[in-house]
Amino acid sequence: MFLVWWHCGYPASDAACAKGWASMKGKFGLEPEQILAADPKQLAMALKAGGMVPELRAMRLKEIAERVQKEFDGDLYGALKRMPLPEARAALKKFPNIADPGADRILLFAGISPIAAVPSNCPHVLVRIQLGQERKNYGRTYTEAQEIIAAEVPAKLDARSRAYLLLKTHGQKICKSTNPKCKDCPVAPKCAFFNGKMRGRPAPKWGGPPGPQLTGSNC
């Protein structure tokens, strides 16, 4: 269902997707056969509740529903559970707008695998805390965040789901990709980024020296 949820809002956010999801569920339903049976224009009208480009999102949902029906006999969940993990991950990444973070999130929260999933907009959080600075390359940062979770969080669905949600909340409210609120961060004293361990790169210009002396809001 995450494949449908993700296309219910744009720009994608929990609030936008929830609005589009509720609108579509009330008018058409969410099963593949229901999406395929829906008139494209009416489907787009329902998706307007979730934000921009509803026509494009309607087209993508039709594509997703058709693939689920044709390639997985209408049961994507069952098919994924029977696949080896790398194969399941690759299958999910063939769907529109699903890259590594989306595939890993689906596998984790669908209960298919306790994979070390990382919120797509927050891979920098753990890397900053433990290693001092995220990579310039997003893919490398994401991989490093996964490695940290895999090393320190038990490979259990509940533990890794909780880690995912904690990272998401911390990244959205405190350790933002830009203008992080280090002065409000409960782990700042133990954070390599806060303490100026920047992997040889210059510390950000936050109006003061790095480390515990920090008085501004950025880190």
> What is the tens place of the pLDDT at every residue in 135-157?
889 999 999 999 999 999 999 99
As a dihedral over the C-alpha atoms of residue 206, residue 209, residue 211, residue 214, rounded to 10 degrees, the angle is: -60
Q: Where do we find the tokens 């940062």? A: 141
* Average pLDDT estimate for 22-29: 93
Query: Of 76-85, 142-151, 159-168, 200-209, where does mean pLDDT reach its minimum?
Result: 200-209
SS3 51: strand
Burial zone of 139 (CB within 10 Å; 0-12 exposed, 13-18 middle, 19+ buried) = exposed
Q: What pLDDT is stored for residue 90 in this prediction? A: 97
SS3 10: strand
Q: What pLDDT is stored for residue 25 in this prediction? A: 93
DSSP string, 127-179: HHHHHSS--SSHHHHHHHHHHHHHHHS-S-HHHHHHHHHHHHHHHHHTS-SSS
Q: What pLDDT is stored for residue 1 in this prediction? A: 80
Instruction: Look up the pTM and report it.
Output: 0.83
pLDDT category of residue 196 using cuts at 50, 70 and 90:
confident
Residues of the chain with CATH 1.10.1670.10: 115-219
pLDDT category of residue 212 using cuts at 50, 70 and 90:
very low
The secondary structure of residue 50, as a DSSP letter, is G
Share of the chain above pLDDT 70, in %: 90
Q: What pLDDT is stored for residue 211 in this prediction? A: 37
Q: What pLDDT is stored for residue 202 in this prediction? A: 53
Q: What pLDDT is stored for residue 28 in this prediction? A: 92
Nearest in space to 114 (alpha carbons), one of 78, 144, 157, 81:
157
Measured N-to-C along each axis, helices 100-109 and 138-152 cross at an angle, to the nearest 10 degrees, of: 30
Q: How far apart are CA 6 and CA 75, in angstroms?
A: 18
Q: What pLDDT is stored for residue 12 in this prediction? A: 85
Q: What pLDDT is stored for residue 200 in this prediction? A: 55
Q: What pLDDT is stored for residue 198 in this prediction? A: 67
**3 has a pLDDT exceeding 70:** yes
**112, 80 Cβ separation under 8 angstroms:** yes
Residues of the chain with CATH 1.10.340.30: 2-80
**CATH class for the domain made up of 115-219:** mainly alpha
Domain 2-80 has CATH 1.10.340.30: yes
- For the stretch 71-103, pLDDT in tens is 999 999 999 999 999 999 999 999 999 999 999
Q: What pLDDT is stored for residue 115 in this prediction? A: 97
Q: How far apart are CA 158 and CA 126, in angstroms?
A: 19
* Average pLDDT estimate for 10-28: 92
pLDDT category of residue 37 using cuts at 50, 70 and 90:
very high
Burial zone of 43 (CB within 10 Å; 0-12 exposed, 13-18 middle, 19+ buried) = buried
